[in-house]
Structure 1
Amino acid sequence: MNMRDIPFCITEWDSVEATEHKGTTGTAYWRTRTFGPPENPIRVRMVSYSPGYAADHWCRKGHILLCLDGELHTTLSDGRSFTLKPGMSYQVADNAEAHQSATRTGARLFLVD
């Protein structure tokens, strides 16, 4: 990640419009900002998963993800499984390990990718 051409700014996340993304079950709501030049965009998101959310795809995008609230269960394509609770994070590179997320209770996350 090359962070350049990003002036100092503050994000008031509650004022960023949420977009809805249906899972196999449940819904994800993304509040998204993009920073940097078009050839090297950095996406920053506040994501809320409804209780019972399960992703409808295996993600291969790299992320830095911080769990703020709730509990997030992430399964890797090799079968390993991890549970994140508030204050825990994971990091994964683009195309490194496909991952899929779900939550029974709901979760709120902060992501940079």
Structure 2
Amino acid sequence: MVNPTIAFQTIDWKSIARTEHKGETGIAYWQTVEFEGLRIRHVEYSKNYTADHWCQKGHIVYCLKGEVVNELEDGSRSILREGMSYVVSDGLSSHRSITTDGVHLLIIDGDFLNPGNN
């Protein structure tokens, strides 16, 4: 397993460029900071956003503002509201995000969420 060493630093999200990712409907805007084996993103989903794929990647997700529906491929759903989180390891679910009014999320993922690396 990769064990990166990250020196103390602050992240000024206002200075991180946004990239645009179209969904099935709506748009996702990502601001991404990457380290060896670790990715940290501030993600904003627009109103009426539906992801264009089923994701099997592991994440730690914290809802900063708004609300998002997490839909699993088996049809089950959960709602993440401001102040709530979810966590899942790589390969343990096929999930996608859906919003009505938009949402801001902090998403952390990386090698540590891959069971094969432990």
Q: Establish whether TM, by shorter chain, passes 0.5.
A: yes
Instruction: Give the drift of 1:14.
Output: 1.1
Q: 1:28 maps to what in 2?
A: 28
Gap runs ≥5 in structure 2: 110-118
Q: 1:83 maps to what in 2?
A: 79
Identity of matched residues, %: 48
| CA RMSD between the two structures | 1.1
Q: 1:74 maps to what in 2?
A: 70
Instruction: Indicate whether 1:103 and 2:99 are aligned.
Output: yes
Identify, as 1 or 2, the structure richer in helix.
2
Superposition map of 1:30-69 within 5 A: 30-36=30-36, 41-69=37-65
TM-score (norm. length: structure 2): 0.89
TM-score (norm. length: structure 1): 0.92
- After the TM superposition, list the runs of 4 or more consecutive aligned residues in structure 1 that deviate by more than 2 angstroms: 1-4
Number of residue pairs aligned between Structure 1 and Structure 2: 109
Gap runs ≥5 in structure 1: none
Instruction: Give the drift of 1:79.
Output: 1.4
Instruction: Give the drift of 1:51.
Output: 0.5
CA deviation digits over 1:54-100, x for unaligned, max 9?
A: 00000000000001101100111111100010000000110100101
